[in-house]
Structure 1
Amino acid sequence: MATTISNSKITATINSNGAELISLKDNKTGKEYMWNGNPDFWAKHSPILFPIVGTLKNNSYLYNNEEYHLSRHGFARDNVFEIIYQKDNEVVFSLKSNNETLQHYPFQFELQIKYAISENDLHITYSVFNENDFQMPFSIGGHPAFALDKNFENYALEFETDETLEYYPLENDLLSNQSLKIHLEEKTLPLTYSLFENDALVLKKLNSNSILLKENNLPVLNFSFKDFPNFGIWTKINAPFICLEPWIGYADTIDANGNILEKEGIQVLEPKKNDTFTFTISIL
């Protein structure tokens, strides 16, 4: 089921399956900013990654000496969320642990996803609730894909700060121990498909808290993500979209020992506590 929120300037549509953002439009021009999900390239639009981000070594992990299995990016994107609050410019979705999730992730949780529009901004907030009497490890992230109308090379990413991007190439979907560096040109990364020949650019650390997507040097949208320390940038070769992915956590390293509490980048939420993380898409 699709749910729409809007104001006088922008309209967002969210699918209850995965609480996935499937459309973001400028009301004046009718321009669509989200990727259309063409399965010839990638059938998703903006999946939510929880309770892991990326791939686990052997698609499994250990907790209290028990082995559990989770597929890449976790199960939230494949579950139907319930709407628990809605008004014209705001909606909140909820996913709670159930018998199926507990087989793969032995924790009682609630995951709330809030979409709220103000002016030209769409604020997306993830709230994770630990309903247990013990600590709960988790990762969470976004995976929004933005449609590119022109040739891919017409686009560039302008970072908030002039920094060197250090990324970790993937080996069988796991992070290698060797990093590579990209030196920005006046804070800018020109987009070329060659950047993604080995899948995503996985950034364990990023000084910038926002990225500007530009088309022929003109701003298209601003993406801000100060609550997220890790980041991914991805597309498929020859696909007309770019994914800007704010993460808390990332795939296992090739030498990961499998213990979820020792997983690099994992978050640990204390009993009966919750935490909240927000990123914002601003239409320019």
Structure 2
Amino acid sequence: MFSIDVEQRQYETYILTDEKSQSQLEVLPKRGGIITKWRINGQEVFYLDEERFKNPEMSIRGGNPILFPICGNLPDDSYTLNDQQFTLKQHGFARNLPWSVSEEITVDNVCLKLTLDSNEQTKKVYPFEFQVNFTYQLHGNTLTILQEFTNKSSEAMPFSVGFHPYFLTHDKSQLEFDIPSVEFQKKDSQEIHSFNGNFDFSSDEIDVAFNKLSAKSATVTDKGRNLKMTLEYDDNFSTLVFWTVKGKDFYCLEPWSGPRNAMNTGEHLTVLEPGATQSATIRLTAKFS
């Protein structure tokens, strides 16, 4: 049996439940369309910094924030388009704006469709008319996110899209990685480093990008939690970013359609023609043993 309940907390919270598998999502449409929690048999999949979450002035550190129309940061938070300079802050604006709920389904699975439309606020920093639809689909221990991007402008629309999932972990030394790449690039560096499947968690912060991917899935096994996370992504996604901070109980493995600063460099930048719609899919599977 599938169900969707709505509770008014600090934010209106949609609770999607697959009762047979005891899997549950919590989604906040008005707070960036974010999934804040995902539980399977009472066990949390995502990390959430509750103190930051209570402060609406701070970005949410936890759950699965949406990155659009850029992933990562731009130099000086700026990009140039048609000889005009625009300011766009890290990861774009989608994670900070209210999304509307456009459809609820509880038949073969439980789905919640959210919509973000361009407005006067977005056009000041990103001069396009657009509509973005995301459908969160929960079935068993799998979360699928179906994405649709429509360019309603008269000019071609460049963008990147991604997700920033924070996975809960209590002991990073118990993590085993299967990432389909043999090299990564550190943030703010052009230097390429070889990757042998391990990270040095004694560092204060790890922020690296895998830009040459040989497959469409990656897995992280947390032996401390008996949890295997599988991330699958389609051809739209060219980059995986791994980020964590020392002393915090999370790691992030983030699928991005384009690398940092793609809006300026054009590298793997998606360009959508006027009137066109593009679809994309990612899938997360959490298997507790």
Shared fold by TM > 0.5? yes
Of stretches 242-251 and 99-108 in structure 1, the one that deviates more from structure 2 is: 242-251
- Helix, strand or coil at the partner of 2:255: strand
Aligned partner of 1:4 in structure 2 is: 15
- Tell me the alpha carbon deviations over residues 55-86 of structure 1, each in whole angstroms, 9 at most, x when there is no partner: 11211111121111000110000000000001
- Tell me the alpha carbon deviations over residues 170-198 of structure 1, each in whole angstroms, 9 at most, x when there is no partner: 22xxxx22211112xxxxx345424x645
Residue correspondence of structure 1 range 193-208 to structure 2 within 5 A = 193-194=201-202, 197=204, 199-208=206-215
Residue correspondence of structure 1 range 107-126 to structure 2 within 5 A = 107-126=128-147
Q: Give the Cα separation in 2 of the matches to 1:92 and 1:226.
A: 20
Letter in 2 for 1:154: Q
Of 155, 161, 171, the residue aligned with 1:151 is 171
Of stretches 42-51 and 209-218 in structure 1, the one that deviates more from structure 2 is: 209-218
Which structure has more RCO (C-alpha within 8 Å, separation ≥ 6)? 1
Q: Give the Cα separation in 2 of the matches to 1:216 and 1:4.
A: 29
Q: Give the Cα separation in 2 of the matches to 1:198 and 1:169.
A: 11
Q: Give the Cα separation in 2 of the matches to 1:40 and 1:86.
A: 29
Letter in 2 for 1:138: F
Is 1:49 aligned to 2:67, yes or no? yes
User: Cα–Cα, structure 1 residues 179 and 77, in superposed 2: closer, same or farther, change >3 Å?
Assistant: same
Residue correspondence of structure 1 range 69-80 to structure 2 within 5 A = 69-80=87-98
Aligned partner of 2:185 in structure 1 is: 168
Shift of 1:233: 0.8
Residue correspondence of structure 1 range 206-245 to structure 2 within 5 A = 206-216=213-223, 218-227=226-235, 228-245=237-254
User: Cα–Cα, structure 1 residues 85 and 108, in superposed 2: closer, same or farther, change >3 Å?
Assistant: same
Aligned partner of 2:256 in structure 1 is: 247
Contact 1:68 1:104 survives alignment (8 Å): yes
Aligned partner of 1:24 in structure 2 is: 38
Of stretches 231-240 and 93-102 in structure 1, the one that deviates more from structure 2 is: 231-240
Q: Give the Cα separation in 2 of the matches to 1:215 and 1:71.
A: 33
Contact 1:153 1:190 survives alignment (8 Å): no
Of stretches 221-230 and 53-62 in structure 1, the one that deviates more from structure 2 is: 221-230
Shift of 1:261: 6.6
Of 57, 65, 69, the residue aligned with 2:83 is 65
Letter in 1 for 2:222: E
Contact 1:170 1:198 survives alignment (8 Å): no
Q: Give the Cα separation in 2 of the matches to 1:262 and 1:190.
A: 30
Structure 1, unaligned stretches of length 5 or more?
Answer: 184-188, 254-259
Of 40, 48, 65, the residue aligned with 1:36 is 48
Q: Give the Cα separation in 2 of the matches to 1:69 and 1:265.
A: 21
- Helix, strand or coil at the partner of 2:48: coil
Contact 2:205 2:246 survives alignment (8 Å): no
How many residues align structurally? 262
Shift of 1:132: 1.2
Letter in 2 for 1:234: W
Letter in 1 for 2:184: Y
Letter in 2 for 1:155: L
Aligned partner of 1:178 in structure 2 is: 191
Letter in 2 for 1:153: S
Contact 1:155 1:191 survives alignment (8 Å): no
Shift of 1:119: 2.6
Structure 2, unaligned stretches of length 5 or more?
Answer: 1-11, 54-59
Q: Give the Cα separation in 1 of the matches to 2:70 and 2:264.
A: 12
Letter in 2 for 1:64: N
- What is the alpha-carbon root mean square deviation over aligned residues? 2.1
Letter in 1 for 2:241: G
Contact 1:158 1:211 survives alignment (8 Å): yes
Shift of 1:220: 2.4
Aligned partner of 2:272 in structure 1 is: 269
Q: Give the Cα separation in 1 of the matches to 2:206 and 2:132.
A: 28
Shift of 1:134: 1.7
